[in-house]
Amino acid sequence: MSQQLMINDSGIIAKAELDVQISTAKAYPRDVMKFLEDARMLATIDEDTAASCMYCLPPRKDKDGNLSSIKGPSIRLAEIIASCWGNFHAAVRIIGNDGKFITAEAVAWDLEKNVKISAEVKRSIVTSAGKTYSNDMQVVTGNAACSIALRNAIIKVVPRSFVDKIYAEAVKFAVGDQKTLDKKRKTLFSRFKAMGIEEKKIFDFFGKQKIEDFDLTDVEHLIGIGTAIKEGLIKVDDAFTIDFNNQEMNASDRINNLLKKKSTDDKTNNFDTNTGELIDGAPTFIDIKSQMRKAKTQDDLIVALDLSRSLGLSKDQVEQIENLYNERKQQME
């Protein structure tokens, strides 16, 4: 059999399979109330699952100096929704790697409503020093890009009102309410103690005097930091550490600084405030200061200063960068 005939036969088979699936979807339409019930049950089956259904990027300052947070449904919640929605196709693949970025494309298709949406996500595979990631790290970055693209495609096909409803249930279950606040606080502090983190270190980080001072917002932050430790985004020793760079920060700013740290060397995180996606390789405020301190020439200082102007830093951070720049420049003259 020729190659052309094989291609034609494959196309015919694929079309026939798709026609059968669409016909089946029309013959057995989904029960929306059953979907909500099943998705809610899976998203809140336990606290760990509920916590994994939400992502929360560190609070950061906008151009006016106001703190804002980006929160939303995670890939775990998107997978639950796709499974429970039914009559649904979803797929994702890597479509490009130009040595600087890996590009992933995901497609989600509601066979019953005939709604099909694709989503693309790019992830940098270059460190802040301009070094290309190793093969293993490129695989990890590609998997992350696939997860984000798949999440974006799924939650665009399934009506957002349903997604938000399940998401709210998962957050409520993970964080709890005033009735469960005391128990939740004790559970979280016990988990941190098992990691070797003492209560006083957490109190100092949040500016609290006792465990009873922690409210529901603080509990949400504690859950987020615990998840970051669990997933290797930050080291146990770095958690709740106040250094000379964040000594004067409030709790929100310290969390912002803390969750930007990664466990791998020469790699930093930043966030797209519009999409909520991680932008690997983008320098942080701390990176710029470190680069200026290590600069050996005035050209190195200028490069670091130019990089800082692309970060959307607060007025206080801009002032610190400029003061450090002038101080180091004088030392070199």
Question: What is the tens place of the pLDDT at every residue in 89-109?
Answer: 899 999 999 988 999 999 999
pLDDT of the residue at 246: 44
- The answer to whether residues 104 and 120 touch, using CB atoms and an 8 Å cutoff, is yes
Mean pLDDT of all residues in 225-239: 65
Interhelix angle 298-308/285-294, nearest 10 degrees: 170
In whole angstroms, what separates CA 324 from the centre of its chain? 31
Bigger pLDDT: 234 vs 37: 37
Report CA-CA distances (Å) from 48 to 35, 80, 171, 214, 223.
21, 14, 11, 20, 10
Structure-block tokens of residue 253: 């700013």
For residue 191, name the pLDDT band (cuts at 50, 70, 90): confident
- The answer to whether residues 110 and 93 touch, using CB atoms and an 8 Å cutoff, is no
Could you tell me the pTM of the whole model? 0.60
pLDDT of the residue at 94: 93
Report CA-CA distances (Å) from 309 to 149, 296, 317.
29, 20, 11
pLDDT(256) > 70: no
Mean pLDDT of all residues in 167-177: 87
Signed CA dihedral, 252, 208, 228, 291: sign only:
positive
Bigger pLDDT: 198 vs 37: 37
Bigger pLDDT: 225 vs 173: 173
